[in-house]
Every structure is written in C-alpha cells, then in structure tokens.
Amino acid sequence: MKIGESQNISKPPFFDGNNYSYWKAKMTIFIQSLDYNLWDLIVDGPNLPTVTLENGDVIPKLRNNYDDNDRRRVQINAKAKHIIICAINSNDFNRISSCISTKEMWDRLEVTYKGTNQVKEAKISILVHDYEMFTMNEKKTLNLCFLDLQILLMHCKLWIKLILTVKW
C-alpha cells in the first residue's frame, strides 16, 4: 500500500515484515471490529474441546465426539487463524503455520519482531550503558559526536515510549 492510500476495510492489514508495531496496532483494531470474541481468543487463548482421562490427563477431544458448542469453539479459532494467515507474508506464514491456536501465532510474531522481555531489558541496559559511557572521540568532529549523541538519545526516547505504552 502506498503512503496516502486508504485500505479496504474488509481485508486485514498486510504485514510485509516491516514496521511491526504499526501493523499490530492496525491488526488489533481490525480484529476487534470484526468480532471482539476473536480478539479475546487471541489475548486469552483458545478454549478448544478436551476430554479428561481416568488418570487425570487432559487430551484434545476427537472431532467425531464434538457437540455443537465444541464446533463453535473450534470454528472461532479457525476464523481468527484465517484472519492472521491472510495478513502475513510467506516467511511469517512458515514461522507460525505449525501453531495450533491464534494466541500461539500472535505470541510467536510478537517474539519474532519485538523480542522477549529478556531481550527488551538487555536492549535497554545497552542503551543506558552507551549513554553513561558516551564521550567525545578525539578522532571525530564536534558535529559527528553531536550526531552520535542525538541518535543515541533518539533510541532512548523510542524505548521509553515502548516501556510506557506497551504492556510487557
């Protein structure tokens, strides 16, 4: 999609592997606008039909034993999976196609493009360290050092914004 173009409201926003945060925000609104139950399924995980064995183990229920309620639960998971699959490129499809639930798909995309909490904390620690250790290099001009500092501060601002707006 070109800048300035609107999007067809009946199609999910397409993720080409770039600008994940932007796509995630648009995709969240798109899914919620279709059916908020779909969004709940992605956030909370599916409630797929299971059966408890005599020994206490819980296993997936066989399809031929589904009742109408079981079929509705499986159908809503399939619908949410379809929406996500239609919105991603082939590389991301290969990453998430083995996932059973939409929550698992969504979480895998999140870890792929945003990282785990450990990765985020490590990035923040590196930025803080770089800021604390920043000095003017004698081999660089004042303008280049100032530019380096501006870039470092921009990265710090972006991470602060992430911390304040995204629930880890």
pLDDT at 149 over 90: no
User: Looking at the DSSP assignment, which residues form a beta bridge with residue 51?
Assistant: 59
pLDDT at 104 over 80: yes
Q: Provide the percentage of residues in the chain whose pLDDT is more than 70.
A: 87
pTM of the model: 0.63
Task: Name the token pair of 115.
Answer: 């990282």
**Cβ-count burial 98-116 (b if 16+ within 10 Å, e if not):** ebebbbbbbeebeeebbee
pLDDT at 168 over 60: no
Q: What is the dihedral of CA 61, 65, 67, 70, to 10 degrees?
A: 20
- Give the domain ranges of the chain: 20-114, 117-165
- pLDDT given for residue 36 in this prediction: 92
Average pLDDT, the chain: 84
The alpha carbon dihedral of 133, 135, 138, 141 has a sign of positive
The 3-class secondary structure across the chain, one letter per residue, is CCCCCCCCCCCCCCECCCCHHHHHHHHHHHHHHHCHHHHHHHHHCCCCCEEECCCCCEEECCHHHCCHHHHHHHHHHHHHHHHHHHCECHHHHHHHCCCCCHHHHHHHHHHHHHCCHHHHHHHHHHHHHHHHCCCCCCCCCHHHHHHHHHHHHHHHHHHHHHHHHCCC
pLDDT band of residue 4 (cuts 50, 70, 90) is: very low
Task: Name the token pair of 45.
Answer: 């995980």
Average pLDDT in the 11-23 region? 89
